[in-house]
Structure 1
Amino acid sequence: MKKAALHNLGCKVNAYETESMQQLLEEAGYEIVPFDQKADVYVINTCSVTNIADRKSRQMLHRAKKMNPDSVVVAAGCYVQTSREQAEADEAIDILIGNNKKHELPKLLEQFFAKENEKTTEVEDIAKDRSYETLNLNKTAEHTRAFIKVQDGCNQFCSYCIIPYARGRVRSRELSDVLREVKTLAQNGYREIVLTGIHLSSYGVDINETLLHLIQEVHEIQGIERIRLGSLEPKIVTEEFAKSLSELPKVCPHFHLSLQSGCDATLKRMNRKYTCEEYALGCELLRKYFEHPAITTDVIVGFPGETEEEFETTRKFLKSIDFFEIHIFKYSVRKGTKAAEMKDQVPEEIKTQRSDKLFEDLAPMNREFLEWHIGKKAEVLMEEKVTFSGKEYFMGHTKEYVKIAVPYKENLENKLVTGTVKGILKEHILWMEEN
């Protein structure tokens, strides 16, 4: 029995695909071992969202070959798709697998061994491939929450982003296939499903479906207690969308609405397809139909041409929305994108200063959101035993994705526990007493 080790870089979609490849290898008879152990096959699912991600991908590939020079090193995914020639010239890589070809991993390994270690490349023009790659999972590394990939590709072409070139055009998974996988996961004990994709809001545009209908169908599956959504585009939040979701009790009021900038001039240079006014309207609709939804976002600071005035406009806008969390990124030049060629690149020290200011602004917003829960009832899906200041707790998340711990009495893993929130245990973590 050959030993295989896998390592994932990048997003939740990549993580899903890595676990799917692991399942394929297990079914093919491989023994799965930790990545830091000696293996016959190393599979690295690469990322290419930034130049740094490319470098990390190469470093991990070289590390694998160094751990066992006689091993077969497989480079899969976005770095391979965007940098094929460079990957083919890399002596550390034995098999190259592009996006939409990961399901062929066991077959490609079999062919590689049969051909006495002849370097193999299975990378096609992703822009021309309009088929959705079928991958499946019946278990995940997490024991309570399962991420389900339902969509691939992106048609947006934001000026800073390489992903449409790495992932191709929008391709949606058939509704029946999604429901079949969710039912299997429910039967295997998973209580929370996270629907994810490269551009989740585009789900269904190519197969006469909608994301809302998909959510409604998943909602009917017995055993699933919670449905969480991956990142959404602001304009998907219409009156009908928000109202319909609020009528589905399993839907978690935790919405990650991608923003990137709170300044219309910057959004235009980014080639984002909405205005700040439209974004704010989406947030208003969610707060109209949900009592206290967690609204989170992404923001890029130091985008080419961002003036001090534009940055201050973003700061003011972020405060007006009052987010639970903001993922703050300093703009990183990505070769191959339009933004990389733009004039007025912002110096690194200014990006750092602006990033620090946003982190300072976020702290009171985050604390205010958490303090709202004190004295109120909460339902927590318990995940793991933890220790704080020498005292044991069991910790999990609310539907809003707020971390809450209860004093440890017994193993509560994968159980829904209700109680009254008593206060803040430590930074970003509340505690409650069970009912």
Structure 2
Amino acid sequence: MKRAAFYTLGCKVNQYETEAISEMFEKAGYEIVDFEQEADVYVINTCTVTNLSDRKSRQMIRRAKKTNPDSVVIVVGCYAQTAPEEVSEIEGVNMVVGTKDRSKILEYLEELEASGGRKNYVGDIMKTREFEELGVDVYKERTRAFIKIQEGCSQFCTYCIIPYARGPVRSRSEENILKEVAGLAQSGYKEIVLTGIHVASYGKDIKTTSLVDIIRKVHEIDGIERIRLGSIEPTTVTEDFVEAVKGLHKLCPQFHISLQSGCDSTLKRMNRKYTAKEYLRSVKLLRDNLKDVAVTTDIMVGFPGETDEEFKETYRFLEEVFFSRMHVFKYSRRKGTPAASYPDQVSPQKKEERSRMLIELASRMTLKYNQSFIGRVLPVLFEQEVKEKEGFMEGLTPNYIRVECQGDKDIEGKILDVLLKETKDDFIIGEVVS
């Protein structure tokens, strides 16, 4: 039996797509093995959000060939899409497939094995208008299932390469989403995460549905107890949106609303489509209407032209909004994006200093948010054993607080009531009460 191994860099969408490709190989009779093991085929699903992700992709390609010099190395994903020639020239690469036609990967592999050499199957993603079906029947992770409902992005933020890597917005049909969710519910999955490259755009291209419509329909599926949303835009959170979702008890009260900067002049240079004031209004709408709501975000430091005063403005705004979690990252210059040629690029030292300040702020906010729930009983979906901590399991509350409890593996995949007792770093120690 031939063996295949997979490695994923980047976002939840990439993880979903790797699961789908892995399943295709499994159905074709391949044994799926760990990436560190010897395999006949290695598939590396790449990311290109930062220069670091490009470099990591190249490292994994070399590692695969070192493990088995006779293997076939297939490189897919965003880095492959935006720099196919560069990827093709990396020693050890046999095939390059971008962010479309992944469903034909086994067919391409047959062609390669028949003719040898190197193959580049990357096409023009900007002309693609159809959503490519890559469904998943069974996840390796047993408690939460990610469902890709949307592909592409048409926002064109000035720092971002993703619209060029993923192409225009394409929404998946309701029928296929609901069929996949129903299958996963029958397999015992309790939580569904609706994800995509720009989830907020779901339905914009097909007009007959919307993000709220698909949330409602997933909500009706028996067996699914939690629905979580991937990252959305502040412009998504309108009075109509909040009114529509506040009665949906399965929808987790945790919203990841991308911010990037709390300073209007920086937001304008980024080509973000909202102001800090509008962002705050969206957060207030959620907090006024949903109990225990958690707002999480992404924040970028060191965007070209970001002055000390602009950074301070962002810092003050973050304190005002008060997030339960923040993902802080440094601006990375991406060739082919408008911001790459902007003047006043911020020095690495300045980026590092600002990043450190925001990471410290994020830690304080998470701790304060978690402390506000001490003494409460909340339901926790237990996901896995705690690494290096025997006899402990961990999971998430609906509002995305990570909780650790004493317990055996038999509670994995179950939702149990937990008394939240003590804060530790960015999680809470709890005790199962049901």
TM-score, length-scaled by structure 1 = 0.97
Shift of residue 113, structure 1, vs aligned partner: 1.4
SS of the residue 2:252 aligns to:
coil
Shift of residue 138, structure 1, vs aligned partner: 0.7
After the TM superposition, which residues 87-106 of structure 1 pair with which residues of structure 2 at under 5 Å, given as runs? 87-106=87-106
After the TM superposition, which residues 18-57 of structure 1 pair with which residues of structure 2 at under 5 Å, given as runs? 18-57=18-57
Question: Is contact 2:78-2:99 (8 Å) kept?
Answer: yes
Q: Which amino acid aligns with 1:37?
A: Q
> Which one is further off, 193-202 or 285-294?
285-294
Measure, in 2, the Cα distance between the counterparts of 1:36 and 1:358.
Answer: 35
Question: Is contact 1:422-1:433 (8 Å) kept?
Answer: no
Q: Which amino acid aligns with 1:181?
A: E
Equivalent residue, structure 2, for 1:212: 212
Equivalent residue, structure 2, for 1:344: 344
| Distance change >3 Å, CA 220–CA 424, structure 1 → 2 | same
> Which one is further off, 105-114 or 421-430?
421-430
Equivalent residue, structure 1, for 2:168: 169
Query: Do residues 240 (structure 1) and 261 (structure 2) align?
Result: no
Equivalent residue, structure 1, for 2:275: 275
RMSD: 1.4
Query: Do residues 111 (structure 1) and 111 (structure 2) align?
Result: yes
| Distance change >3 Å, CA 33–CA 275, structure 1 → 2 | same
Q: Which amino acid aligns with 1:111?
A: E
Shift of residue 433, structure 1, vs aligned partner: 4.0
Measure, in 1, the Cα distance between the counterparts of 2:182 and 2:105.
Answer: 26
Measure, in 1, the Cα distance between the counterparts of 2:87 and 2:123.
Answer: 14
Equivalent residue, structure 2, for 1:196: 195
Return 5+ residue gaps in structure 2 as ranges: none
Question: Is contact 1:100-1:132 (8 Å) kept?
Answer: no
Equivalent residue, structure 1, for 2:382: 382
Question: Is contact 2:385-2:409 (8 Å) kept?
Answer: no
Equivalent residue, structure 2, for 1:145: 144
| Distance change >3 Å, CA 391–CA 30, structure 1 → 2 | closer
After the TM superposition, which residues 36-435 of structure 1 pair with which residues of structure 2 at under 5 Å, given as runs? 36-115=36-115, 117-208=116-207, 209-386=209-386, 392-408=391-407, 411-425=410-424, 427-435=426-434
Shift of residue 361, structure 1, vs aligned partner: 2.0
| Distance change >3 Å, CA 409–CA 185, structure 1 → 2 | closer
Shift of residue 405, structure 1, vs aligned partner: 2.4
Question: Is contact 1:175-1:214 (8 Å) kept?
Answer: yes
Measure, in 2, the Cα distance between the counterparts of 1:415 and 1:433.
Answer: 11
Question: Is contact 1:257-1:296 (8 Å) kept?
Answer: yes
Measure, in 2, the Cα distance between the counterparts of 1:28 and 1:89.
Answer: 29
Question: Is contact 2:150-2:171 (8 Å) kept?
Answer: yes
Question: Is contact 2:234-2:282 (8 Å) kept?
Answer: yes
Query: Do residues 8 (structure 1) and 41 (structure 2) align?
Result: no
Return 5+ residue gaps in structure 1 as ranges: none
Measure, in 1, the Cα distance between the counterparts of 2:422 and 2:98.
Answer: 48
Shift of residue 191, structure 1, vs aligned partner: 0.5
Shift of residue 425, structure 1, vs aligned partner: 4.8
Spell out structure 1 runs of 4+ moving beyond 6 A. Answer: none
Q: Which amino acid aligns with 1:151?
A: Q
SS of the residue 2:127 aligns to:
coil
Measure, in 2, the Cα distance between the counterparts of 1:410 and 1:258.
Answer: 35
Shift of residue 141, structure 1, vs aligned partner: 1.8
Question: Is contact 1:417-1:434 (8 Å) kept?
Answer: yes
Measure, in 2, the Cα distance between the counterparts of 1:379 and 1:20.
Answer: 30
Measure, in 2, the Cα distance between the counterparts of 1:349 and 1:91.
Answer: 34
SS of the residue 2:125 aligns to:
coil
| Distance change >3 Å, CA 34–CA 212, structure 1 → 2 | same
Measure, in 1, the Cα distance between the counterparts of 2:21 and 2:6.
Answer: 9
| Distance change >3 Å, CA 11–CA 387, structure 1 → 2 | closer
Question: Is contact 1:5-1:43 (8 Å) kept?
Answer: yes
| Distance change >3 Å, CA 51–CA 427, structure 1 → 2 | closer
Shift of residue 249, structure 1, vs aligned partner: 0.4
Measure, in 2, the Cα distance between the counterparts of 1:214 and 1:282.
Answer: 21
Measure, in 2, the Cα distance between the counterparts of 1:88 and 1:352.
Answer: 33
TM-score, length-scaled by structure 2 = 0.97
Measure, in 1, the Cα distance between the counterparts of 2:423 and 2:284.
Answer: 28
Question: Is contact 2:404-2:427 (8 Å) kept?
Answer: no
Shift of residue 360, structure 1, vs aligned partner: 2.3
Measure, in 1, the Cα distance between the counterparts of 2:295 and 2:426.
Answer: 19
Shift of residue 365, structure 1, vs aligned partner: 1.5
Deviation per CA, 1:199-238: give whole Å up to 9, x if none.
0000011111200100000000000000000000110000
Measure, in 2, the Cα distance between the counterparts of 1:240 and 1:104.
Answer: 41
Question: Is contact 1:370-1:430 (8 Å) kept?
Answer: no
Q: Which amino acid aligns with 1:38?
A: E
Equivalent pairs counted in the alignment come to 433
Question: Is contact 1:379-1:418 (8 Å) kept?
Answer: yes
> Which one is further off, 118-127 or 273-282?
118-127
Q: Which amino acid aligns with 1:130?
A: R
The sequence identity of aligned pairs, in percent, is 50
Measure, in 1, the Cα distance between the counterparts of 2:219 and 2:83.
Answer: 40
| Distance change >3 Å, CA 124–CA 283, structure 1 → 2 | same
